Amino acid sequence: MKLENINQIDLLPYNKLAEDKYRRLNQKSQLGNLETQSAEKLEEIKILVESFGFITKING
């Protein structure tokens, strides 16, 4: 699979920085209880994405 418009895919781990904002606004995050991905998990995902022919970077 090759998408002509995509040159590179940057994998960014989820972080919980915005959770405090939702709490202060008395709102519930729609993302639920996501966990930050480990370096090992991101590397696993990178290998999978590269297997489709995409240039892939972790943390952009």
Instruction: List per-residue pLDDT tens for the chain, 60 residues long.
Output: 557 788 899 999 888 787 888 889 998 878 777 888 899 999 999 999 999 989 999 997
Q: Residue 34 falls within a domain, yes or no?
A: yes
- How many domains does the structure of the chain reveal? 1
Q: What pLDDT was estimated at residue 48?
A: 97
What pTM was estimated for this model as a whole? Answer: 0.69
Q: Residue 42 falls within a domain, yes or no?
A: yes
Measured in degrees and rounded to the nearest 5, phi and psi for residue 20 equal -65, -35
Do residues 36 and 13 lie in contact, with contact meaning Cβ atoms separated by under 8 Å? yes
- Show the domain range for 26: 9-58
Do residues 41 and 20 lie in contact, with contact meaning Cβ atoms separated by under 8 Å? no
Separation of alpha carbons 46 and 36, rounded Å: 16
Amino acid at 18: A
Q: Residue 4 falls within a domain, yes or no?
A: no
> Which residues have CB under 8 Å from 46's CB, separation 6+?
11, 56, 57, 58
Q: Residue 2 falls within a domain, yes or no?
A: no
